[in-house]
Amino acid sequence: MSFYKKSLKYIQKIPAYIALGIIWLYKTFISPFYTRHHCIFYPTCSQYARECFEKYSFFTAFRKSINRISRCHPGNDPQVDLP
């Protein structure tokens, strides 16, 4: 029975692994071209999203990441915002 529980746990993590892969692609190939722009939050939005996907379930992490990205614009004050 434990084999099935472990398999189910791994299968439930697949969307989070895909999201982590997309974040890695963004940080590796897209982010370096935006040298003038930087995130006003600490940690950066991509780092925040990565930590959320590692810590929370997929839907909770997705909701928290979208909420954070929607607040990341020049009108907000810089601040520390941890997941």
At residue 35, the pLDDT reads 59
Give, for 79, the enclosing helix (H) or strand (E). strand 79-80
Give, for 77, the enclosing helix (H) or strand (E). none
Radius of gyration of the chain (CA): 15
At residue 74, the pLDDT reads 77
Respond yes or no on whether the N-terminal peptide bond of residue 83 is cis (omega within 30° of 0): no
pLDDT tens-digit series, residues 19-57: 999 999 999 998 888 756 677 888 888 999 999 999 999
Mean of the per-residue pLDDT values for the chain? 87
At residue 34, the pLDDT reads 73
Stretch 51-80: mean pLDDT: 89
At residue 2, the pLDDT reads 83
Give 34: exposed, middle or buried? Use CB within 10 Å, 0-12, 13-18, 19+. exposed
Task: Spell out the domain ranges in the chain.
Answer: 11-27+39-74
